Structure 1
Amino acid sequence: MHLAFPSRKSSNPPHYPIRYSRFPTLRRSRAKTIGIGILAAVVLIWVLARLVGSSDGIPPGTPPVVIVTVVDEENYPAGYIQTIKENRIEYAKKHGYATFFPTANDYDLKGAPRSWARVPAVRHAMSNSSSTYFWYLDQNSLIMNPDVDIETHIMNPKKLESMMIKGQPIVPPDSVIKTWPHLKGDQAQLVLTQDAEGLAAGSFIVRRGDWGKFFLDTWYDPLYRSYNFQKADTHALEHIVQWHPTILAKLALIPQRTIDAANKAYAPQGTGAYIEGDFVIRFAGCEQVGRDCVKEAGPFLKQWRTIFDSK
């Protein structure tokens, strides 16, 4: 508030002397003090914010990645399941990641095939963690190169953009719906690969956030679970990607061997087949009649330990 001062002496002088010339100086001094105090408070708040969490609200010490694997303890040998868990745990320790091993029985699938459990499992992990990335990796897979990390080798925007397959039919070879041609690396929210038959849902990475939750909730919609898709959740995924532009617009498709190399014996014409040094090998389809997941994984169950120990 501005104070008006008299221009002449009053006929009734006050009982105490008034030094008009000091008032502006005092106001300026007080304003300066208040300003310095406000600035100090802002700096303190900023410092505290840096100490207790990052700018995106991630608490300090939060693992950047959670590896999610749904395990089937009912139908597979205990030793095999333990080895699969150890494979993820040892890799996670190297990079400061977290692991999550639910079972299909942890989720009410309403009679849908057990493969659907991957979707609520990732959603479950996302609801209970502030991590940035959630990597779903099927049980019948092994991490073979512990030096590859998710943030640098895959999700780094420049690296991701250099790998993205743009203008690719979602369902090869001739789907009219194709991956987004103008997607940038920092815009991608979902990363996955293709095999010879279509989208490969056995290894995918989704970023934490509202879009990631929307994607998982859409995929797990009761209508899709009750529909008799030939390949259950995999065909449901292909459906929503092709019919929901909001999902297609954030999908980054990368080469199969990046996160989902196939067992050579079952890779058509060697497409996407595992080569020594690849990040992951997945024994896709090994649960089918006439195949044996444990037997197919056998040569690699000890090999991954040898590789890890040598790094």
Structure 2
Amino acid sequence: MQFALPPRKTPIAPPYARSSRFSLQRRKQFKAVAILGFALLVVFFLLSQLFYTSTGTSAVPVGTPSVVIVTVLDRAGFSNEYTQKIVKNREDYAKRHGYINFFANVSDYETALDEAPKSWTVVPAVRHAMASHPYSEYFFHLGAHALIMNPTKSLESHVLEKSRLESLMRKDASVVPPDSIIKTFSHIQAQDVDLIITTDNEDMNPGSFVLKQGDFAKFFLDLWFDPLYRTYNFAKAETHVLDHIVQWHPTILARLALIPQRVINAYSKVSSAATTDGTYKEGDFVIRFPGCDTDTKRSCEKEMTPYYRLWSEKLKNE
């Protein structure tokens, strides 16, 4: 007697098996996508760091000069010969070290001055230079009545290199001579510095200074050029305003380095405001003739002539 066998049942997979298989595959896909995304982020970060500069701008164009030399000329007040001497002196220096010049003219900023003394043009001129060269890092303002006497010294090796600047910085020194109670910070380091300047025997002197491109520079120049200060009739215009804002604004003092006068701002022997060791000596980087354009007993062209001749002779002998 045969018994009917029950029909063979086809095994049925648990309802979650297919779902589990797809979940595992999906997790693998998500993991692969996550790894790929992370890798792309790392590559993007590395590339951004490669092209990032300390000025806060990316992709600096090839050949961008690190230093821009800013000189404000008064073409209406200077003779053509005198102007050409200044221009030739600056161009020679810039060419030697791969820098670039920014020659401004007093008349370019007459409207912005609002009848303030034309010596104020230093501020908008530097700001103009920064806008014209947004990828350059340092801006070296040197007044027109000055000559670079030792062009072999690059600004980097002479002032800007970290170890060099550290050795030059005057810490815990009176901001305004001779005995201002406001002093430079003793803890400031070279990497914190955005403004490098000197004092003479009377004031902080803006005839020669170095300013680093960045947000601080914009803030500093805007504050310095505030209309309230320009109309206040300070005895020495922008110079006394600079004395004022450095003493009353710790934000500026915290980014400032005072260095010995002769490093970038040696005065001619006729200039009485030089510090004890601030008068020009052979081998110094620059010589300036402050006051030669305001003292009726002096002549900028006559004072510069022997030094220009000396500088020219050095060029011929190189």
Q: Which amino acid is the alignment partner of residue 313 of structure 2?
A: T
Residue 303 (str. 1) matches residue 310 (str. 2): yes
CA shift in 2, pair 1:188/1:50, >3 Å = closer
Give the distance between the partners of 2:263 and 2:200, measured in 1 at CA. Answer: 12
Residue 271 (str. 1) matches residue 277 (str. 2): yes
Deviation at 1:271, TM superposition (A): 3.4
CA shift in 2, pair 1:119/1:19, >3 Å = closer
Q: How does 1:1-311 map to 2 (within 5 A)?
A: 9-10=12-13, 24=24, 30=29, 33-34=32-33, 37-38=36-37, 41-42=40-41, 44-46=43-45, 48-49=47-48, 54=53, 56-58=56-58, 59-61=60-62, 62-107=64-109, 108=111, 109-128=113-132, 129-267=134-272, 271-287=277-293, 288-308=295-315, 310=317
Q: Give SS of 2:160's match.
A: coil
Deviation at 1:299, TM superposition (A): 0.9
> Where does structure 1 lack aligned partners over 5 or more consecutive residues?
1-7, 13-17
Partners of 1:189 and 1:251 within 8 A in 2: yes
Matched residue count: 299
Give the distance between the partners of 1:151 and 1:168, measured in 2 at CA. Answer: 24
Query: What per-residue deviation string (whole Å, max 9, x for no partner) do you get for residues 144-181 of structure 1?
Result: 11222223321223321211112222222222222222
CA shift in 2, pair 1:269/1:253, >3 Å = closer
CA shift in 2, pair 1:186/1:19, >3 Å = closer
Q: Which amino acid is the alignment partner of residue 12 of structure 2?
A: K
Q: Which amino acid is the alignment partner of residue 268 of structure 2?
A: N
- Percentage of pairs with the same residue: 47
Deviation at 1:221, TM superposition (A): 0.7
Q: Give SS of 2:198's match.
A: strand
Q: Which amino acid is the alignment partner of residue 281 of structure 1?
A: I
Give the distance between the partners of 1:159 and 1:172, measured in 2 at CA. Answer: 24
Partners of 2:148 and 2:287 within 8 A in 1: yes
Query: What per-residue deviation string (whole Å, max 9, x for no partner) do you get for residues 19-55 of structure 1?
Result: 977974x557645653564355346535654675547
> Where does structure 2 lack aligned partners over 5 or more consecutive residues?
1-10
Give the distance between the partners of 1:282 and 1:22, measured in 2 at CA. Answer: 81
Give the distance between the partners of 1:290 and 1:33, measured in 2 at CA. Answer: 82
Q: Give SS of 1:271's match.
A: coil
Partners of 1:166 and 1:181 within 8 A in 2: yes
Give the distance between the partners of 2:12 and 2:279, measured in 1 at CA. Answer: 100
Please report the TM-score for the alignment, with normalisation by the length of structure 1: 0.86
Who wins on radius of gyration, i.e. which is larger?
2
